[in-house]
Amino acid sequence: MFMKNVFLDAIKILFLLSCPLLFSVFFVAVIISTLQAATQINEQTLSFIPKIITVFIILFFFGPWMIDVLIQYINSLFKSIIYIIAE
């Protein structure tokens, strides 16, 4: 039963940490795609460069929070390793 909780917590942390990056890149991609469709400019770098810049900006702002959440989760895993081994 305890392993199931560990797995569910890991999935929750995975979604929590990936959401800021995925949603921001998706939002930028939709905007760039709309602009490309409106102007009929189909340059590959025009869609790639803004996404990379967005990832770096999001990691700059949300990176410390992401690391803090990950460290708290790993600490809780280390504290509960006895219960994992006991099962």
pLDDT tens-digit map of 41-73: 878 778 889 999 999 999 999 999 999 999 999
Structural tokens at position 8: 């569910």
pLDDT exceeds 80 at position 83: no
Cβ neighbours, 10 Å, residue 9: 14
Q: d(Cα 70, Cα 65) in Å, to the nearest integer?
A: 9
CA distance 37 to 84: 53
Task: Kindly state the greatest CA–CA separation across the chain.
Answer: 62
Confirm if 50 and 32 have CB atoms less than 8 A apart: yes
End-to-end CA separation in angstroms for the chain: 9
What pTM was computed for the model?
0.78
In single-letter form, the type of residue at position 48 comes to: F
